[in-house]
Structure 1
Amino acid sequence: MAYMSVSKPSNLKLRSYAKLSRDSIPSSLQSLNFFCSPASSDTSLPTPLSPADPVPSPDAEERISPSQTEDNQRVRGGKQRNPEKIEDIISRMMDSRPWTTRLQNSIRELVPQFDHSLVYNVLHAARNAEQALQFFRWVERSALIRHDKESHCKIIEILGRASKLNHARLILFDMPSKGLEWDEDMFVMLIESYGNAGIVQESVKIFNKMTELGVDRTIKSYNILFKVIMRRGRYMMAKRYFNKMVNEGLVPSLHTYNLMIWGCFLSLKVGTANRFYEEMKTKGMSPDAVTYNTMINGYNRVNKMEDAEKVFVEMKGRNIAPNVISYTTMIKGYVAVGRTDDALGLVEEMKSFGIKPNAITYSTLLPGLCDADKMPEAHMVLKEMVAKYISPNDNSIFTRLMSGQCKAGNMDAAMDVLKAMIRLSIPTEAGHYGTLIENFCKIGDYDRAVKLLDKVVEKEIILRPQSTFHMESTAYNPIISYLCNNNQTVKAETFFRQLMKKGVKDPIAFNNLIRGHSAEGAPDSAFDILKIMIRQDVPSEETTYKLLIDSYLKKGEPADAKTALDGMIEQGHVPDSNVYRSVMSSLFEDGRVQTASRVMKTMVEKEIKENTDMIEKILEALLMRGHVEEAIGRIDLVLQTGYKPDIENLLSVLCEKGKTIAALKLLDFALERDCKIDISSYDRVLTALLEAGKTLNAFSLLCKITEKGGVADQGSCDGLIRRLNEEGNTYQADVLTRILKGKDKASTGSKKGTKQMFTA
């Protein structure tokens, strides 16, 4: 029994499901003729299963390919003989529009009169099961036609394939109410559909219900039940139904025994499988190629290659020629136990008999060769596949081949693997290029690695949405490092930005890019990368910041260097004294004294006690530029750390430059902090104030000095008194005179005499 895949002709008579042609089997299922029996009295529904665990199925008739069908519909000149079929038009309408009353009316206008052939063909041409079900119900409810048995069979088949099992079950059980009789094939379809969906208990219930409903069960029903329950490993249940079948007088066919042997091996019940095998022979049934292939595959499952070899020899002894399935199964077994030399020998043997290895054969052999480190042999097998244009079933084989050749040090052979993928139209992914790039970098062949990288970037292979094999950090970090160290950081960044779009946040790559841009004199580009790192919480390195700061300084951009320094500190790094000095010096030379002052403040707060000469320069510049309050604040901060700036020198410079107010404020600060100041410094400030005509400021300063117990030069005092009287400030002159007389009396009889140094 098979699925129909061709349209129903208009004069098609009612046929049972069992007699549908074999041309309906999809090409994807034809590869499952891994274990096939010759034609027997019973047939079975083909089921799409994994090639790893094929189910024995009969295969007697020739299959008609779709291309042959199309060729038969063509006429000379290459033109279509007929216009588009009406069922195809209806199918396209249903696929492009929602199922509404408007669509139904459009179909009615297109087809005034429905017949069974048209309904069947529309169901067959429907793009999906939901469309077919809607159409099936509509034509019946609208009284356009009364479905026949064949239409029911078709919709049950469609719904079963789509796993719409409840709908299929209701339609099947509703047939008697429409005056239609059941047949065994409909139940067989439903049993298999439930089995394909993994609902074995429902398959069993429907099988048992067949008797209640008066539907005869033949060997065909039992075979499909065995296939369903054996696939789920329920070999004990299969044995019970096997005995029940025999008790009902049904004779097991060769296909039945093949199914039982297959299922027992699937459940690793080797002894039970052997008993079925011997029972089959005692009943006079000769094993066929499917039987032997099943036995060989079963022994491979349990790693009993000696038993598999015996069966293989027995097969040849009975003049049953092993086919490509037989050889491939044996090769699979040899590979599984590590006997790759025997596997290679079988390949040569099958070629000598004119049997061509297929994709499954190569897919089975190549992993074994890689595991056995037989890379030259694997390379030859790959070349043979490319020459025959045979692609393996599993594309991951190419990854193993490429890695194996790289491990063996044969990089040319590894490149041949990539070329083979392109030749066989297999999509290459970033991981394949990454494997080659990584190994080219390991051997120092960076030129070839860069050429591969150029292809990756140009074709945007990394950004392909269907990619599953991504490039590892062991591949992209070495090539990025090489590019950044060889003045090609822009290319490295272009490549890495594609990686970032795939979610890569590798700190090593980020830091290498910053180093590269910094070394090439492009600190702005480096800083852009740094911003991305900070935004994405990627950890940075201290040396990276140092290179960035140095790059800005070399470019003559100390303000940006200071910004980078601030970022360095924010990220938890501790700059050393040299970094602070270089930034402060550049800012100072650029005339950015206040910015340099802020850097100095940060340095002092971090308890770095070097660079005192820069501290003195910055303090002097602040005072000279009139930033007195800022300078005094910095002096106060420096004093707290234990460093004592040269205040007397600052006072001297300020007086020389005529910055008397700045000198006065600095001296006031020194008096408040009890700093040790030489009397000459006070005299110098007083003199500067007097020369500048600021007698009141001088008077105020002198009062503070005397209040602190200090002594000033008598000549300066007399001169100040005289100037005060001349300017009409007699009150201040009189106060100063009394203060000085009081000081003289207090100092009379003192053994120490006049103080030359005082503490204010």
Structure 2
Amino acid sequence: MLEAGCEPDEVACGTMLCTYARWGRHKDMLLFYSAVHRRDILPSVAVFNFMISSLQKQKLHVKVIQLWKQMLNAGVEPNRFTYTVVINSYAKEGLMEEALDAYRKMKKSGLIPEEATYGLLISLTAKYGKGDEAVRLYEEMKPLGIIPSNYTYASLLSLHYKNADYSKAVSLFSEMERNKIMPDEVIYGILIRIYGKLGLYEDSQKTFEDIEKLGLLSDEKTYVAMAQVHLNVGSHEKALEVIELMRSRDVELSDFAYSFLLRCYVSKEDVASAEYVFQNLTRNGFPDSICCNDLLTLYVKLGLLEKAKALISQMTKHEVHFDEDLYKTVMEVYCREGMIDEAEQLIEEMENIGSCMDKTTKTSLMAMYGEAGWLQKAENLLKTLEQPDTTALSVLLCLYIENGNTCKSKEILKTMLETTGGLSAASQLICKFVREGSITEAESMYRQLVELGFRPLDSAAASMITLYGQCQQLKQAQEIFDSMAQSSSTGGAMYNSMVDTFCKCGKIDEANQLYKKMVDQGYTPDAVTISILVYALAKHGKYQQAENIINDSFNDGVELDTVAYNTYIKAMLDAGKLHSAVSLYDRMISSGVSPSLQTYNTMISVYGQGGKLEKAIEIFNTAQDLGLIIDEKAYTNMISFYGKAGRSQEASQLFSEMKEGGIRPGKISYNIMINVYATSGLHHEAKNLFEDMQEDGHFPDSLTYLALIRAYTENHIYSKAENIIQRMLKEGISPSCAHFNHLIFAFIKEGNIPEAERVYGQLKQMGLSPDLSCCRAMMRAYMDHGLIDKGIAFFETVNGFVKPDGFFLSAAVHLYEFAGKESEAGDIIDNMNLQGLLFLRNLRIGSKSVTA
């Protein structure tokens, strides 16, 4: 056409441009457009629309914008389609102001934007922090009758979520329902997060389930949103279940999901899993500062400082960009490890990028300087704080007190007391020193506080009283209590501590008196104080007073814990008031207080001592059914009570069960089991267990040998029983009267008085004094067998060396009367009357003699 000398007109050029655009030959199209422009041929708006639309489809947004500008410069009037395409390209390029300018020109031209255009502008303005403009655009749509799409609603919901304006978000969702707009997965995901932020956990869960029922659940962001809600309420396992559900449906985890998974394991304090996830994140390059900080924070929290230092080394090697949070955590590691050079280098790096340390970081750094002995550096750092808070001042104060610098510490303390919460912080510092057992520092701090004219808080005074109680320094504790008691505002905490101190120092009556005074003044003692006092009273045999306090606590409605009930029950057991102990246990259960293993151990003793073996078994089984780890004491208690009931087989089974459960029996357990066998006459089993005991590394003691002697005497194997006594002597273990008694009793039972006398002689040769049970047995033997002279001689030998009972003296009276010694018999009866002992008239002389 050109060769023929025909100049192409607007229509021909437009046709060519559209053809190039349709074929996607954009380079040729733009070259041809340049040629057309040089010939001053101006394509129509329809041609321009065709060209920019084609360019936009290929995401050539920069070319779209260039052509748009040329179009405007050429004076071509854009139409609605033109503005729609151009605004879209501006939005895709993130050119918010240019997009808004094109929008305003469009409005000025009288053209009404489409919903898609509004949606893009709302998304763009919300993304770049122009929330008000986004909302204004949304409000503009309403009078125009334009119904927002899911995309637009999602942008607005994200905006409200980001701004924590949850009520507007929920209201917007309600509007969607009114407009019959069916939410997509993105909107449901946002709604899950919003419900989570509002604490509407069940609504979040229901929404997630609804998405699944609708078949919309496919995006990992939705799964992570639900998992995040679970994590926020501390449900680590449920959060992990959601992620596992996502994996099971072949939804591939991106770095976004792995980052969440890392936070989940960090929150759960699962180091191994957190490290595994962190390693997975490195597949696409070293993780960012947020992930690094998450893992580093876990290491710091759990005290894994070597791992923390190794991670910091890796971050440095991979040139991770530090944000403020990461700087803070790394500094915490350096401070804890006393890495001063590294800390100061980090400070320099922070200053170079214009990042400032916060108060918390500076406070940690002050502590590190102090521990290194650089108190001046710590003080200089304090001076950089515009308004030092009590935490920073406490750190420096603590350093000066620990270094014995009274002048400086008093100066810092005075400054701290002038700040809000200063007295409370000072009192807390005293409590800290007390917890650490730092008596000198606690005393210094307390004294300085008083010297400055301040009254320490009750918590500090109570801590000091407790500390002095632990050190048995009653006088100092009393001085603090008396000085604080002068104030009308003295609290119950000090009374509690002083009662505890009296108990620790063995002043039980004083403790009880102070307790009564405390109650009279209207203070309600706590469960701990009551437990301490009841325990002390019971320990000193003051059972009635202990029971009175127990009853008072119930009448006063004191909220008792497991420890208090355990103390109460044990006190009644020690007092022999088994019925009261059972009543307390029943009350504990009905009050909803959970018993501990100690509770069950004590109740086994209560029922066992009361002869209610079946109830003891029931208690033991209950403890096992509850999944409590039964200890050796509980097993031994039950074995003992089985033995006393003659049920050696069940005792043996329980002993085996204890060993199978991984409990290595101690010497006491072995002794009790050997004694169970002995009582039942099972001397072979007793001997075998005795050998097992030694193989298990336990040396036999007096009680072990006593059980063996009993086993042999029960089976009339007297020679072996006597050999046991000889073995004890060789091993340097002194036999007691009880060891000889078994042999003496056995011989007497068989009527073999000479053998009984022989063993008794050995007892005397050992320098032992017979106990009352031995004397009773010998007297009965002489009386039953009519050995009058021997009986009288025995009586006269031991009388005055053993505290007699009614039987022993009655037997002597009968022997003297039988021998015709009425005067001696009468003297004994007079003595019995003085002691309030009952004379047994029905005893017979010679009931087992041969002549009888």
Band the TM-score falls in, shorter-chain normalisation: 0.3 to 0.5
By relative contact order (CA 8 Å, sep 6+), the higher-ranking structure is 1
Q: Structure 2-normalised TM-score?
A: 0.35
- The structure with the largest helix share of the pair is 2
Q: What is the TM-score when the length of structure 1 is the normalising length?
A: 0.39
